[in-house]
């Protein structure tokens, strides 16, 4: 159990590092220009933290651990990227279907980012998992 706790915490740290670079350097202006009419002045940090915690748990259960069990970085990476695509598509395509004037460019960029982010974090988690063993 201690192995999985360490794996979770270190993967979480990797996720935060990658996602914060995206949010701080790349996405801030993009989202403001596309969704400024919807954005809050301050993020709801509790909601963000809960999302991050669940997302990392999902990556571990559905991608990192299966990859580690098979000794396959490729498997982990492909499962993680697919998990990212599906989760980000769920959010964005639901918004596309229900939010008036939701920009298509946001949906496309988010889905690509979710795929890249989850694949990258899964690869990181896989390597951490191998290192911890």
Structure tokens at 43: 């993020």
Q: What is the mean pLDDT of the chain?
A: 95
| pTM for this entry | 0.92
Helix (H) or strand (E) holding 77: helix 73-98
Which DSSP string corresponds to 3-15?
Answer: HHHHHHHHHHHHH
> Which structural domain range is residue 34 located in?
2-132
Domain count, the chain: 1
Close Cβ partners of 4 (under 8 Å, ≥ 6 residues apart): 60
- Half-sphere exposure at residue 106, Cβ-oriented, CA atoms within 13 angstroms: 20
CA-CA distances (angstroms) from residue 25 to 20, 28, 58, 99, 113? Answer: 8, 7, 26, 26, 14
Q: Does residue 72 sit in helix, strand or coil? A: coil
Q: Cα dihedral angle (76, 82, 85, 87), rounded to 10 degrees?
A: -80
Which tens digit of pLDDT belongs to each residue from 24-81? 888 888 988 999 888 888 889 999 999 999 999 999 999 999 999 999 999 999 999 9
């Amino acid at each position: 159990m201690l192995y999985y706790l360490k794996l979770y915490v270190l993967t979480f740290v990797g996720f935060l590092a990658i996602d914060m670079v995206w949010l701080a350097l790349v996405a801030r202006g993009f989202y403001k220009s596309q969704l400024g009419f919807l954005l809050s002045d301050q993020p709801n940090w509790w909601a963000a933290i809960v999302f991050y915690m669940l997302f990392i748990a999902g990556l571990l259960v559905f991608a990192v651990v299966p990859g580690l069990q098979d000794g396959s970085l490729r498997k982990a990476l492909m499962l993680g990227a697919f998990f990212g695509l599906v989760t980000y598509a769920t959010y964005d395509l639901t918004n596309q279907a229900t939010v008036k004037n939701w920009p298509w460019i946001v949906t496309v960029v988010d889905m690509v980012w979710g795929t890249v982010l989850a694949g990258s974090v899964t690869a990181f988690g896989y390597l951490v998992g191998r290192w911890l063993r």
